[in-house]
């Protein structure tokens, strides 16, 4: 079978930083496909390769990369695309077309329409199958997501549509399910009888950088909260799926999302130098702090505190599950610390269980100690990148790492109040935690985990 990935947004940041390295690795591992990158940035293939592909790339990889200057505004664009695709197909008997959309959401509708045109005009003496891959955020809000989906469904069946959230390709995400469902000792403590609160912290040191044009339209809520953070919450709180089929996993995730009310307790802000390079200030939130709860039988009553955004002093990604501290009360000893599970994603993938054990040379005094799993030390540093996992699954036709449309719609419903245009937005100095994040902790009587 000849597989062709038609890369919309083929000269963009995502393609450069994540997709092409993933393609290179997968080709080196024996996967068999050709990439046709589309873009306006270069007029020819040589310039495209010189900029978009690393210098040391293998000949094999280079031979699989093709480029077409593609201006979506040109009415003849689809003809040129169709002709180039037919050239690549040549005499192949069985062909799979994978349309990969790594574009700004504002371009989705046009791109999907163009794909429909190309698709309806493809004729070859071969058996054709197709897939379409759509990057997050899927839409701008609930209405546009539903609209994009209905346009997509005119040309593709739901089975052929892969909606990407690359966090599902991350090792720590998959490990969350294994940690919860392959360990009986965890099962019995993972609910509102034992858990007091959960924190999700995703602080990044970088700003929006070269992605300003994209980010300007998106902001932190659409960029990471509607997708990555919501998916993390489902993995932290879903019931065990009946099987690991994509359908059964989606059923459990949807139950979690449907139980979450639209967020009302939140604040957003932007860092003060945003847009300074381009000479204008952009009103796009780059940081948010919020509180929500999963109102299912086993998780209702556990506050989930989230903070995430850009231009922070330290890159820190972690999930902190804090257990109730009944022991301190029963023993009349306020120095007894709580137990907790700390899943650190950045700078290193580790899982710590914090316990209290006797401090030497004391009389019945305990001290918190950590039992640690370190992914790199235990399994080596060669964990595949998230995008490699995602693309591998697309090639294999396995949808278990892709959010379903219902999950996407529910996530838009939950974050809807955070998307209003007229929200107050704190301007925070770069490398500092916005004041509202500290205030959220103060007013709810907790401390951000550090
Ligand atoms: C992307 C966002 O989806 O995720 C970026 O668009 C963010 O703004 C990135 O920085 C974080 O992903 P990772 O894989 O670096 O944790």
pLDDT computed for residue 279 by the predictor? 52
Distance CA 262, CA 416 (A): 7
Mean of the per-residue pLDDT values for the chain? 93
- For the Cβ of 175 lying below 6 angstroms from any atom of ligand 1, the answer is no
Q: What is the pLDDT of residues 121-154, one digit of tens each?
A: 888 888 999 999 999 999 999 999 999 999 999 9
pLDDT computed for residue 213 by the predictor? 77
pLDDT computed for residue 208 by the predictor? 82
**DSSP per residue, 168-228:** GGSHHHHHHHHHHHS-HHHHTTSSTTTEEEEEEEEE-S--SGGGHHHHHHHHHIIIIIIII
Average the pLDDT over 106-118 and give the result: 90
Instruction: Output the residue whose Cα is nearest ligand 1's atom 9.
Output: 224
Superfamily of domain 168-444: Dihydrodipicolinate Reductase; domain 2 (3.30.360.10)
Distance CA 448, CA 444 (A): 11
pLDDT computed for residue 276 by the predictor? 52
Q: What is the pLDDT of residues 194-232, one digit of tens each?
A: 999 999 999 999 888 777 778 888 999 999 999 999 999
| Residue linked to tokens 């019931």 | 239
Give the global pTM: 0.95
- Ligand 1 atom with minimal separation from the 218 CA: 6
- For the Cβ of 96 lying below 6 angstroms from any atom of ligand 1, the answer is no
Instruction: Output the residue whose Cα is nearest ligand 1's atom 4.
Output: 224
- For the Cβ of 141 lying below 6 angstroms from any atom of ligand 1, the answer is no
pLDDT computed for residue 281 by the predictor? 61
Q: Which residues, including other chains, have CB under 8 Å from residue 209's CB and lie 6 or more apart? A: none
Instruction: Output the residue whose Cα is nearest ligand 1's atom 5.
Output: 223
- For the Cβ of 223 lying below 6 angstroms from any atom of ligand 1, the answer is yes
Query: Predicted confidence band at 431 (pLDDT cuts at 50, 70, 90)?
Result: very high
Architecture of domain 2-135: 3-Layer(aba) Sandwich (3.40)
- Ligand 1 atom with minimal separation from the 386 CA: 14
Q: What is the pLDDT of residues 41-78, one digit of tens each?
A: 999 999 999 999 998 999 999 999 999 999 999 999 99
Closest CA to 343 of 170, 164, 165, 224: 170
**DSSP per residue, 265-279:** EEEEEEETTTTTTTT
Neighbours of 10 (CB within 10 A): 30
Q: What is the pLDDT of residues 314-350, one digit of tens each?
A: 999 999 999 999 998 899 999 999 999 999 999 999 9
Q: What is the pLDDT of residues 158-204, one digit of tens each?
A: 999 999 999 999 999 999 999 999 999 999 899 999 999 999 999 99
pLDDT computed for residue 132 by the predictor? 97
Closest CA to 105 of 227, 197, 253: 227
pLDDT computed for residue 105 by the predictor? 80
pLDDT computed for residue 406 by the predictor? 97
Edge to edge, the sheet with strand 425-428 lists: 366-374, 350-358, 340-346, 316-323, 195-203, 304-309, 287-292, 265-271, 425-428
- Same topology, domains 2-135 and 168-444? Answer is no
Q: Which two tokens stand for residue 279?
A: 């000479």
Q: Which two tokens stand for residue 315?
A: 């890159």
Q: What is the pLDDT of residues 252-310, one digit of tens each?
A: 999 999 999 999 999 999 998 755 555 556 678 999 999 999 999 999 999 999 999 99
- For the Cβ of 224 lying below 6 angstroms from any atom of ligand 1, the answer is yes
Burial class (CB in 10 A: 0-12, 13-18, 19+), 48: buried
Distance CA 329, CA 351 (A): 27
Instruction: List the domain boundaries for the chain.
Output: 2-135, 168-444
Residue 166 alpha carbon to ligand 1 centre in Å: 9
Q: How far is CA 417 from CA 219, 221, 225, 304, in A?
A: 14, 10, 13, 17
């Amino acid at each position: 079978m000849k597989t062709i990935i038609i890369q919309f947004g083929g000269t963009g940041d995502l393609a450069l930083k994540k997709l092409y390295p993933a393609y290179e690795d997968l080709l080196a591992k024996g996967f068999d496909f050709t990439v046709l990158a589309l873009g306006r940035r270069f007029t020819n293939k040589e310039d495209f390769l010189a900029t978009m592909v690393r210098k040391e790339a293998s000949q094999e990889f280079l031979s699989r990369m093709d480029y077409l200057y593609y201006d979506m505004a040109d009415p003849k664009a689809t003809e040129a695309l169709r002709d180039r695709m037919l050239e690549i197909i040549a005499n192949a008997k069985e062909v799979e077309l994978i349309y990969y959309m790594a574009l700004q959401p504002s371009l989705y509708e046009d791109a999907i329409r163009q794909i429909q045109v190309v698709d309806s005009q493809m004729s070859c003496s071969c058996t054709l199958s197709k897939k379409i891959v759509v990057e997050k955020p899927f839409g701008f809000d609930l209405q546009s997501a539903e609209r994009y989906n209905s346009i997509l469904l005119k040309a593709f069946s739901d089975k052929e549509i892969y909606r990407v959230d690359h966090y599902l390709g991350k090792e720590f995400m998959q490990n969350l399910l294994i940690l919860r469902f392959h360990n009986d000792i965890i099962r019995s403590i993972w609910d509102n009888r034992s858990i007091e609160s959960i924190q999700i912290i995703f602080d990044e040191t970088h700003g929006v950088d070269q992605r300003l044009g994209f980010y300007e339209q998106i902001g932190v809520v659409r960029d990471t909260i509607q997708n990555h953070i919501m998916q993390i919450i489902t993995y932290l709180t879903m019931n065990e799926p009946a099987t690991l089929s994509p359908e059964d996993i989606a059923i459990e995730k949807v139950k979690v999302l449907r139980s979450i009310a639209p967020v009302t307790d939140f604040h957003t802000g932007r860092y003060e130098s945003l847009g300074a390079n381009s000479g204008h200030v952009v009103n796009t939130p780059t940081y948010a702090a919020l509180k929500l709860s999963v109102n299912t039988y086993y998780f209702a009553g556990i506050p989930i505190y989230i903070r995430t955004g850009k231009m922070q002093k330290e890159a820190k990604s972690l999930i902190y599950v804090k257990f109730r501290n009944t022991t301190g009360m029963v023993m009349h000893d306020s120095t007894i610390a709580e137990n907790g599970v700390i899943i650190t994603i950045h700078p290193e993938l580790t899982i710590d269980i914090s316990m209290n054990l006797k401090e030497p040379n004391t009389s019945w005094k305990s001290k918190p100690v950590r039992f640690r799993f370190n992914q790199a030390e235990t399994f080596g540093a060669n964990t595949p990148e998230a995008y490699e996992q995602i693309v591998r699954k697309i090639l294999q036709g396995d949808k278990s790492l892709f959010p379903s449309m219902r999950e996407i719609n529910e996530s838009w419903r939950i974050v809807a109040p955070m998307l209003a245009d007229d929200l107050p937005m704190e301007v925070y100095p770069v490398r500092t935690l916005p004041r509202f994040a500290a205030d959220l902790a103060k007013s709810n009587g907790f401390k951000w985990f550090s």
